[in-house]
Amino acid sequence: EAKEIVLKAQILAGGRGKGTFNSGLKGGVHLTKDPKIVEQLAKQMIGYNLSTKQTPKDGVTVKKVMVAEALNISRETYFAILMDRACNGPVMVGSPKGGVDIEEVAVTSPELIFKEEIDIFEGIKDHQAAQMAKNLGFKGPLQQQAADQIKKLYNLFLKIDATQVEVNPFGETPEGQVVCFDAKINFDDNAEFRQKEIFAMDEKSENEPIENEAAKYDLKYIGLDGNIACFVNGAGLAMATCDIISLNGGKPANFLDLGGGVKEAQVYQAFKLLTADPKVKEL
């Protein structure tokens, strides 16, 4: 039986712990030792909008809440594996200072961030995993346990075609267990054909309806708040077009990348989507 319970609002945005609900509830993550309070907290979350640093101003409606056993954390570290263009492959990033914004650590204590490139052909080596576990400050038997977890996380990273597996905190319990307490995973869109099960879990209800419509035709669309529609072939060119519009005092209404293999039918649908958008005054 769980001694303590954690409730987490399930939305596709970070900063939930410091977020606020339009129900008046503060924080999208709550801990309680009383099971009776779980229902009360869930009622103040489900159906209400949660606003965080990463959501639109009005927040995002919470439709699901995760309820799990809360474990005691005696020490927190940060660990991630990500695809890095500069290294042409995966890189491990770790810090003994976890459980906080890693961006903050990078600014205030850059010497506490450790990076290690992984050869995509050879995979993660035992000595690399052991060194990272040591850099993260795990000692004694915990060091081997952490190294094993690091190797398993790399296998997961490959198996699910991830572009990022970020565990924060990657910590230890007072009982001597190494645990991935919280994680964020990003997936490679180009691997959708291989990862059907994962992509079927995508929560599309948080997108603008026009974004979901565009996705049906394999168009990359992101809604913005301006009135000049962008209709571009190639993501780099689309970003440059948005920049040029902004530079000249205009405001882009969207980012739309038709993609390299675009067909006539997709061009037709793209025009249809953009011209139906009431915000659009110019194209």
First and final C-alpha spacing in the chain: 60
Token digits of residue 87: 């290294």
Model pLDDT for residues 8-31, shown as the tens digit of each residue: 999 988 889 999 999 999 999 999
Q: What residues are paired with 14 via a beta bridge?
A: none
Same domain membership, residue 163 and residue 79: yes
* DSSP per-residue letters across 174-220: TTS-EEE--EEEEE-GGGTTT-HHHHTT--GGGS-HHHHHHHHTT-E
**pLDDT beyond 90 at 212:** no
Q: For residue 203, is it within any domain?
A: no
pLDDT at 185: 94
Q: For residue 198, is it within any domain?
A: no
Same domain membership, residue 100 and residue 65: no
**pLDDT beyond 90 at 186:** yes
- The stretch 176-191 carries a mean pLDDT of 93
**pLDDT beyond 70 at 115:** yes
Model pLDDT for residues 68-97, shown as the tens digit of each residue: 999 999 999 999 999 999 889 999 999 999
User: How do 254-257 and 114-117 pair as beta strands?
Assistant: unpaired
78 as an active site residue: the answer is: yes
Same domain membership, residue 57 and residue 81: no
Same domain membership, residue 180 and residue 225: no
Helix 141-159 to helix 126-135 angle, to the nearest 10 degrees?
A: 120
Of 23, 39, 69, the one marking the end of a domain is 69
Q: For residue 213, is it within any domain?
A: yes
**pLDDT beyond 90 at 123:** yes
pLDDT at 50: 96
Same domain membership, residue 88 and residue 32: no
117 as an active site residue: the answer is: no
Distance in angstroms (rounded) separating the CA atoms of residues 97 and 123: 26
Of 69, 104, 121, the one marking the end of a domain is 69
Q: Is the pTM of this model over 0.75?
A: no
Same domain membership, residue 108 and residue 169: yes
- Domain of residue 45 covers 5-69
Give the chain's domain count: 3
pLDDT at 206: 64
CATH of the domain at 223: 3.40.50.261
The length of the chain is: 283
Catalytic residue among 76, 116, 154, 166: 166
Q: For residue 239, is it within any domain?
A: yes
Of 129, 159, 192, the one marking the end of a domain is 192
Least confident of 12-26, 42-56, 150-164, 250-264: 250-264
Catalytic residue among 76, 78, 217, 221: 78
- The stretch 164-190 carries a mean pLDDT of 94
Same domain membership, residue 178 and residue 95: yes
Q: For residue 283, is it within any domain?
A: no
Distance in angstroms (rounded) separating the CA atoms of residues 16 and 9: 7
pLDDT at 78: 97
Same domain membership, residue 58 and residue 80: no
